[in-house]
Amino acid sequence: MSTYNKNLKWRYATKLFDATKKISDEAIGLLKEAIQLSASSYGLQPYKVLIISDPKVKEQLKEAAFGQPQLVDSSHVVVFANVSDLNAKHIASYIANIRKTRGLQNEQLEGFSNLMNSVVDGLSQDAREVWAAKQTYIALGNLLSAAADLKIDSCPMEGFDAAKVAQVLNLKELNLTPSVIAALGYRSAQDPTQHYQKVRKPEEELFITI
């Protein structure tokens, strides 16, 4: 854990990436696994994760993100996109996955299925999308921490035109809405931000122990 926290202290929101350095396929595989293992409400994972290295697509994403250079200089861009219209079909697919993975019968999962459907049905369309989008941030946090543990630099990004990103990646056709982006790669020696001292609230201000 001491090494893990040390690596978290090492990471920062990288502003300038070294465009000549690329993340290995093996490391990308480990990061994908970390995202896959992320927690989510009920374990439903109401989102998709797009991992982009195509220079042309990255250039289009840069335009949709108001010209931020991280989108083209980074090795990979990760776009988290939540399900736009979460419904009973998504829950049924999840239940089928549980049944297959754990070797259970339908009747053993009926109560859990009914619970999730009841919760989702009780939310407005807007509330469903907000709830689904929140789940992507849990996965994002896992990605940033896993990247730091591998000494891979990252920059989480919310500054983008969601409609334009959706258009570039054809997300509307997939019933997806982009919620948050992470650029991944290796810091440039010219990025002055890497030398800034990390600023966080002191423990006595951040924590309440009861």
Q: Where are the domains of the chain?
A: 2-206
Class of domain 2-206 as given by CATH: alpha beta
pTM for the full predicted model: 0.96
The CA distance from 184 to 13, in Å, is 10
Q: pLDDT tens digits for 110-152? A: 999 999 999 999 999 999 999 999 999 999 999 999 999 999 9
| 84-101: pLDDT as tens digits | 999 999 999 999 999 999
| C-alpha Rg value of the chain to the nearest Å | 19
CA distance 13 to 206: 21
